[in-house]
């Protein structure tokens, strides 16, 4: 009999070793405004307008990071955050500017 607990442990460890949140297949409608893309793709984790979830957790509004760091984060993702390969370069830059302006 397979042990379901052991199986899920292996699955979690494999995910941790891969070291990323995977890739999102979110694709913005062409010509979407950055606030719309943010609401659709980012707000579920970073809160409305990047104001954070559960208080300051994951707050990114008014970020001090350079635009290039933010666009890189969107393109590459993180340990938990998925990458967004379908968000184009111009849209990533617009999103970064939008986040910093909040
Ligand atoms: C599934 C949840 C999730 C989604 C969706 C998500 N993020 Fe994140 N984001 C995170 C987590 C968790 C971190 C911090 C840990 C990490 O890098 O994985 C993070 C970190 C960041 C950072 C770096 C913050 C810092 O101060 O270092 C930026 C910038 C960012 N996200 C922007 C975005 C943008 C823009 C989108 C939408 C295109 C987005 N995120 C979508 C979960 C998410």
| Tokens matching residue 66 | 């350079």
Confidence at 1, pLDDT banded by 50, 70, 90: low
59-78: average pLDDT: 96
Name the residue of 81, 94, 98 whose CB sits within 8 Å of the most ligand 1 atoms, as the mutation to test its pocket: 81
Relative to the CA of 21, which ligand 1 atom is closest?
A: 18
User: What distance, in Å, lies between the first and last C-alpha atoms of the chain?
Assistant: 54
Ligand 1 geometric centre to CA of 35 (Å): 15
User: How many residues belong to the chain?
Assistant: 102
Q: Is 46 in the pocket of ligand 1 (CB under 6 A)?
A: yes
> What's the pTM?
0.85
* Domain assignments of the chain as residue spans, ordered by start: 20-101
In the chain, the percentage of residues whose pLDDT exceeds 90 is 73
Beta carbon of 42 within 6 Å of any ligand 1 atom? yes
Alpha carbon nearest to ligand 1 atom 22, residue: 73
Q: What is the mean pLDDT of the chain?
A: 87
> Which has more pLDDT, 69 or 6?
69
At 17 the pLDDT is: 47
Alpha-carbon torsion angle 40, 36, 71, 19, nearest 10: 0
Protein residue with least CA distance to atom 36, ligand 1: 42
DSSP code at position 57 = B
Q: Which of 30, 45, 20, 46 is nearest to 94 (CA)?
A: 30
The arrangement of secondary structure in 20-101, i.e. its CATH architecture, is Orthogonal Bundle (1.10)
Using alpha carbons, select from 61, 67, 20 the residue that is nearest to residue 38: 61
- Model confidence over 12-53: pLDDT tens digits? 544 544 456 799 999 999 999 999 999 999 999 999 999 998
């Amino acid at each position: 009999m397979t042990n379901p607990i052991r199986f899920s442990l292996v699955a979690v460890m494999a995910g941790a070793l891969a070291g990323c949140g995977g890739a999102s297949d979110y694709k913005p409608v062409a010509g979407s405004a950055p606030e719309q893309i943010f609401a659709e793709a980012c707000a579920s984790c970073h809160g409305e307008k990047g104001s954070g979830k559960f208080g300051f957790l994951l707050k990114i509004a008014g970020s001090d990071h350079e635009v290039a760091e933010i666009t890189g984060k969107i393109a590459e993702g993180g340990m938990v955050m998925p990458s967004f390969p379908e968000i184009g370069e111009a849209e990533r830059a617009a999103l970064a500017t939008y986040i910093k302006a909040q």
